[in-house]
Amino acid sequence: SQTIHQWPATLVQPVGSPLSLECTVEGTSNPNLYWYRQAAGRGLQLLFYSVGIGQISSEVPQNLSASRPQDRQFILSSKKLLLSDSGFYLCAWSVRPPGTVGYTFGSGTRLTVV
Amino acid sequence: SQQGEEDPQALSIQEGENATMNCSYKTSINNLQWYRQNSGRGLVHLILIRSNEREKHSGRLRVTLDTSKKSSSLLITASRAADTASYFCATEFDNSKLTFGKGITLSVRP
């Protein structure tokens, strides 16, 4: 069966520090991968999506970047965190092409920038 | 930008009652999906309805889609306290992206 792992679960980082969040998928090949951010009381904002290794599409220009070094690995990074980067970050995967079944989400990372 | 807008923003019902949540969207879609999120957790996919479908059932869930009105509804029948969660509609109009609404907070009182 397919599983998605996302870590860490919580993170408190000072302003200006770097960030690396990792997401891995097991039990499937060639997934579409996604990073979403959820601010308090708001819906999910799509940050990045990837349809293949090294293929990253950015939805919102900001202080973050994403990379897909392996087929089932998706990394969200920042060189210098801002206070506004605080939020709940969710990784998700879908079959390719999507549209037949829903997305599967990881359990999320609660990031607090102080 | 957010494609889906859920209504109401919050809903409180008694256990055993039915819960109806609505979603409106703005552009043409390939499919519409509903997700559930328990507090502080990831989202769980509930049901997907394609643009050429009008109604779909899954257990106690019933989803309808009206593409002429660009709207969908999610009905949870015979609600339980365990149904307490946030519910999101999401639309897919590009074969690579899912766009979410702000969500509905459902509280089911025992």
Question: What is the torsional sign of CA A5, A34, A31, B44?
Answer: positive
Question: Which residue, among B31, B34, B98, would best test binding to A if mutated, counting the most A CBs under 10 Å from its CB?
Answer: B98
What would the pLDDT profile of A37-60 be if each residue is shown by its tens digit?
998 777 899 999 999 999 999 988
CATH topology of domain A3-113: Immunoglobulin-like (2.60.40)
How far does Cα B1 stand from its chain's mean position? Answer: 18
- The count of C-alpha atoms lying within 13 angstroms of the C-alpha of A103, restricted to the half-sphere facing its C-beta, is 33
Residue B2: pLDDT over 60: no
**Residue B3 pLDDT grade (very low, low, confident, very high; cuts 50, 70, 90):** low
Q: What are the C-alpha distances in Å from A38 to residues A17, A31, A35, B12?
A: 21, 22, 10, 23
| Region A11-22 average pLDDT | 97
- Total CB pairs under 8 A between chain A and B: 65
**Residue B84 pLDDT grade (very low, low, confident, very high; cuts 50, 70, 90):** very high
Residue-range domain boundaries for chain B: 5-109
**Backbone φ, ψ for residue A4 (5° rounding):** -130, 135
Residue A23: pLDDT over 90: yes
* C-alpha to C-alpha distance for B20 and B87, rounded to whole angstroms: 11
What would the pLDDT profile of A81-110 be if each residue is shown by its tens digit?
999 999 999 999 998 776 778 999 999 999
Report which of residues B4 and B66 the model is more confident about. Answer: B66
Q: What is the pLDDT of residue B1?
A: 47
User: Which residues on chain A are in Cβ contact (under 8 Å) with B50?
Assistant: 99
User: Which residues on chain A are in Cβ contact (under 8 Å) with B44?
Assistant: 105
| Residue in the block written with tokens 């559930």 | B36
Q: Which residues have CB under 8 Å from A102's CB, separation 6+?
A: A94, B33, B35, B45, B46, B47, B48
Instruction: Tell me the shortest Cα–Cα distance from A18 to chain B, in angstroms.
Output: 24
Range ranked top by mean pLDDT from A25-29, A78-82, B92-96: A78-82
User: Which residues on chain B are in Cβ contact (under 8 Å) with A105?
Assistant: 35, 42-44
User: Residue A43 is nearest to which of B45, B97, B103, comparing CB atoms?
Assistant: B103
Hey, are the CB atoms on A99 and B31 less than 8 Å from each other?
A: yes
Contact B12, B31 (CB under 8 A): no
Residue B95: pLDDT over 80: no
Q: How high does pLDDT run on average in chain A?
A: 92
| Region B4-13 average pLDDT | 88
What would the pLDDT profile of B9-55 be if each residue is shown by its tens digit?
899 999 999 999 999 999 899 999 999 999 889 999 999 999 999 99
What would the pLDDT profile of B71-81 be if each residue is shown by its tens digit?
999 999 999 99
What is the CATH code of the structural domain delimited by B5-109?
Answer: 2.60.40.10
Instruction: Tell me the shortest Cα–Cα distance from A68 to chain B, in angstroms.
Output: 16
Q: Which amino acid is at B26?
A: K
With pLDDT > 70 as the criterion, what percentage of chain A qualifies? Answer: 96
> B76 forms bridges with which residues in the sheet?
B19, B61
